[in-house]
A and B are shown apart, each in its own frame.
Chain A
Amino acid sequence: MGLLIKDKQVVVPGDILADDLGFIPGFGTYRNNHNLVCSRLGLVNIEGKVVKVIPLSGKYLPRRNDIVVARVFDILMAGWRVDINSPYSAVLSSKETPEFIERNEDLSKHFDLDDYLVCKVTNVTSQNLVDVSCRDQGLRKLRGGRIIHVNTHKVPRIIGKKGSMVSMIKQATGCRIIVGQNGLVWVDGEPDKENVAVNAIRKIENESHMPGLTDRMKVYLEEITGVKISLLNEGDYNGLQ
């Protein structure tokens, strides 16, 4: 009776998580008579009486205020259509650019096809129409560097608490890194340092489940680059710089 699973256990759709009414179904679960049943593949998270499932796979679904790395794939009358690595594309209006755009100006002078941008999701409708904006500090076109794809659900681990994980990689490699919530990561720096940063990100992705990840990454990065990393300067991280 009661809970049938442990916290942080892997569950698959159809698994019965609890069999009485003492628990409240959260994300990724539903109620079937007395049973609380799983509807997403993921990890169980129990917070008091709420049981939810943290997904381990699936596409990125845009949420308001997410910072994403996007690719321009079409130019519209008054803006751009961008691919945000999600089932739905987003629209960047020409009013939402860092600099003012005159009427009838050629939009491709600002952002051309296949340019990559960092932008922020400003609105998502019920039909999943997405608006993005480039009018905020640090939002811009990405020049140089490289883009890598990571699992969307591992992005919080790559960023770390208050950006501790990325700032470690930045310190060690001297690269500029932007991690989009949509699983696109921009890395720019010395070519060999870029490789180190990419390998570090892949390592985080693969080992995100194991305890002591931050410490292990610190040792790993110091060993490879020989740079002493101080974990002290955890600033207010806004996903950029």
Chain B
Amino acid sequence: MDYNKRLDGRDFDELRPMEAKAGVIKKADGSAYFRMGKTIAYAAVYGPREMFPKFMQDPKKGVLRCNYNMLPFSGAGGDRVKPGPSRRSKEISAVTEKALSAVVDLSDSPNAVVDVYIELPQTDAGSRCCGINAAAIALADAGIPMRDIVAAVAVGHAGNKIIVDLDYEEEHLPDYLEGLDEKDVADIPVAVIPSTGEISLLQMDGIVDKAVLFKALHKAREAAMKVSEVQRNALREKFVAHVSDDIDNNENGFEENQY
């Protein structure tokens, strides 16, 4: 069966409304809030700091350590999420780490660790993407050297259409729409490095053929650019408020050492 109109009335390549804010957690070295529709993520970055346990240190470069956590009351569908690490949250932590380490450069912090904590108080599908988006802003806010800010978004295939940024109902489309089968629906979270178009996260739940996958990835890159713009604006907003254009000449005192 065809999927001709999205359940929430969006265009097929339209993302859910996004909102981002940098520097929301005072005690963290860097932090961010990211919202995609009804999915909300907070990310806090601590470090670089000394790494314990010591045997996990890497003398060649710093280590990035991510932790993804859904809060018990956060689940869509109404069920309580059992607190604590689960098979699912460990896996998402690991892929988040890989998606982000493609851009961060910790070669100046050997033996140190950068901890990223992602907490989700409310989810409605796309939580790993939302978490990656928040974490990427938080890492930049913490002043970690990085090539680019990773932007993530889920794309999917339902019936004969490619859809962008699925929500919970679309991920479970056969439950909501008569005539659609499990095998007609696929969900593909993608993380993109905007400046190069490289992909640092690619997962898939469902079945699609090759041509559709390539089309979907094309859509994902386009959508990631929109996400990236929101992320960048959030960071600029935080710091432009602190920095006006007309700073006294030579008074920023970076190179000239006043001592």
Q: Is B243 an interface residue (CB 8 A)?
A: yes
Q: How far is the CA of A15 from the CA of B194 in the complex (A)?
A: 10
CB-CB < 8 A to B105: which residues of A? 39
Pick the residue among B50, B59, B148, B251 that contacts A88 (CB under 8 A).
B50
Pick the residue among A54, A210, A238 that contacts B252 (CB under 8 A).
A54
Q: Is B215 an interface residue (CB 8 A)?
A: no
Q: Is the CB of B239 within 8 A of A28?
A: no
Q: How far is the CA of A17 from the CA of B74 in the complex (A)?
A: 40
CB-CB < 8 A to B243: which residues of A? 8, 10, 43, 56, 209
- Nearest-CB residue, chain B, relative to A181: B259
Q: Is A89 an interface residue (CB 8 A)?
A: yes
Please, how many residues of chain B have a CB less than 8 angstroms from a CB on the other chain? 49
Q: Is the CB of B140 within 8 A of A13?
A: yes
Interface segment among B33-41, B85-93, B108-116, B200-208: the answer is: B108-116
CB-CB < 8 A to A239: which residues of B? 259
- Shortest CB-to-CB span from B81 to chain A, Å, is 32
> Assuming A56-B243, A127-B110, A212-B248, is B143 touching A87 (CB within 8 A)?
no
Q: How far is the CA of A88 from the CA of B59 in the complex (A)?
A: 13
Q: Interface on chain A toward B: helix, strand, loop, or mixed SS? A: loop
CB-CB < 8 A to B50: which residues of A? 87-89
Q: Is B156 an interface residue (CB 8 A)?
A: no
Chosen A-B contacts, 30 in total, with CB atoms closer than 8 Å, are A10-B236, A12-B149, A12-B235, A13-B140, A13-B145, A14-B147, A14-B149, A16-B195, A28-B145, A37-B148, A39-B105, A39-B147, A42-B143, A43-B247, A56-B143, A58-B142, A58-B144, A59-B29, A59-B47, A59-B48, A59-B143, A67-B259, A87-B48, A87-B50, A89-B50, A128-B112, A156-B258, A163-B258, A211-B247, A237-B259
Q: Is A24 an interface residue (CB 8 A)?
A: no
Q: Is A229 an interface residue (CB 8 A)?
A: no
Instruction: Kindly name the residue among A9, A10, A35 whose own CB sees the greatest number of chain B CB atoms within 10 A.
Output: A10
Per CB-CB distance, the 3 closest pairs between chain A and chain B, nearest first, are: A58-B143, A156-B253, A14-B148
Q: Is the CB of A87 within 8 A of B47?
A: yes
Q: Is A145 an interface residue (CB 8 A)?
A: no
Q: How far is the CA of A58 from the CA of B250 in the complex (A)?
A: 22
Q: Is the CB of B248 within 8 A of A211?
A: yes
Q: Is the CB of A160 within 8 A of B110?
A: no
CB-CB < 8 A to A61: which residues of B? 108
Q: Is the CB of A37 within 8 A of B242?
A: no
Q: Is A177 an interface residue (CB 8 A)?
A: no
Pick the residue among A65, A87, A238 that contacts B112 (CB under 8 A).
A87
Q: Hey, what's the 0/1 contact readout for A77-103 against B, CB within 8 Å counting as 1?
A: 000000000011100000000000000
